[in-house]
Structure 1
Amino acid sequence: MAQSFKFDLVSPERLLVSQDVESVVIPGTEGELTVMATHAPTMTSIKPGVVAVAADGKTERYVVFGGFADILPDSCTVLAESAVHVDDINREDLARRIQDAREDIEDAKDHETRLRAEEFLHQLTTLEGAILPA
């Protein structure tokens, strides 16, 4: 059995998860990151995606829309800009976020701002394809 560690998933609205887990997969801005007990201390930003939490032989998935992860050898805390269990995702909210990102691309005043908006739109549409059936 894998060694466990303390995991917290926090959004501005509420604490979604606070439990001992075996592993957590985080959608880091530099790529997916699997966290297990005794992980090296790390702090990373996260992009829109799915956080997969494995505990007691089950995996729960949560959709996050950015934020930060603070990883220590005995704990991991994800501070999400917004988070919800994948079963509770609101299609209309996701569609609104995608539309807002498209508008941000159209309204971009410079190349750098446009590139950031395009990257965010890509992340949202990838997330949409991963969690919502066609």
Structure 2
Amino acid sequence: MSDKLHFSLVSPERELFSGEVDQVDAPGSEGQFGVLPGHAPFMTTLKAGVVEVFEGDARTRLFVRSGFADVTPQGLTVLAEEAINLDGFDASASKTALAEAQDALIAAEDDHEKEHLTETITYLEALIAAA
């Protein structure tokens, strides 16, 4: 058994992280979970939240919108719908987008549009809180 866990986080745009780490904590759809080297294999969906990567004394925080986590004997792979590295992240644009989405929701008449805007608002609120 290795002393390190291979972790990779990929979004449609690019690979945000790949390397050997000590531990990864992630926001599973059924609750927060942690993965250490030698973890039993499993697969789960992710909800919007922070993936924390621990390597020695260093900690990296990555926000995922949603996705899948796959733990295998080779390591942990996260396939995220959208992912943002929170190190140095400026939430001002997200705050502006949140205000715009809230205004659009008030004016929305179509149920599909309301549902989409509600999902966007929930995502932006979680991102701003994590930042």
Common fold: TM-score over 0.5: yes
Q: Which amino acid aligns with 2:111?
A: A
Establish whether residue 108 from structure 1 lines up as the match of residue 115 from structure 2. no
1:82 CA drift (Å): 1.1
Q: Which amino acid aligns with 1:61?
A: R
Q: Which amino acid aligns with 1:74?
A: Q
Residues 1-134 of structure 1 aligned to structure 2 (within 5 Å): 3-91=3-91, 92-93=93-94, 95-96=96-97, 100=101, 107-108=110-111, 121-122=121-122, 124-131=124-131
Q: Would the alpha carbon gap of residues 101 and 29 (structure 1) be closer, same or farther in structure 2, given more than 3 Å must change?
A: farther
Is the partner of 1:87 in helix, strand or coil? Answer: coil
Q: Aligned partners of 2:14, 2:60: CA distance in 1, in Å?
A: 17
**Structure 1 unaligned regions, length at least 5:** none
TM-score by length of structure 1 reads 0.74
Q: Aligned partners of 1:78, 1:101: CA distance in 2, in Å?
A: 30
CA contact (8 A) 2:98 2:125 kept: no
**Residue correspondences, number:** 126
**Structure 2 unaligned regions, length at least 5:** none
CA contact (8 A) 2:101 2:117 kept: no
TM-score by length of structure 2 reads 0.76
Q: Would the alpha carbon gap of residues 42 and 100 (structure 1) be closer, same or farther in structure 2, given more than 3 Å must change?
A: farther
Of all paired residues, the percent bearing the same amino acid is 37
Is the partner of 1:96 in helix, strand or coil? Answer: helix
CA contact (8 A) 1:64 1:84 kept: yes
Q: Aligned partners of 1:103, 1:87: CA distance in 2, in Å?
A: 30
1:70 CA drift (Å): 0.7
1:3 CA drift (Å): 2.3
Measured on the aligned residues, the alpha-carbon RMSD in Å equals 2.9
Q: Would the alpha carbon gap of residues 39 and 117 (structure 1) be closer, same or farther in structure 2, given more than 3 Å must change?
A: farther
Larger radius of gyration: 2
CA contact (8 A) 2:60 2:87 kept: no
Q: Aligned partners of 1:17, 1:76: CA distance in 2, in Å?
A: 11
CA contact (8 A) 2:5 2:36 kept: yes
1:53 CA drift (Å): 0.3
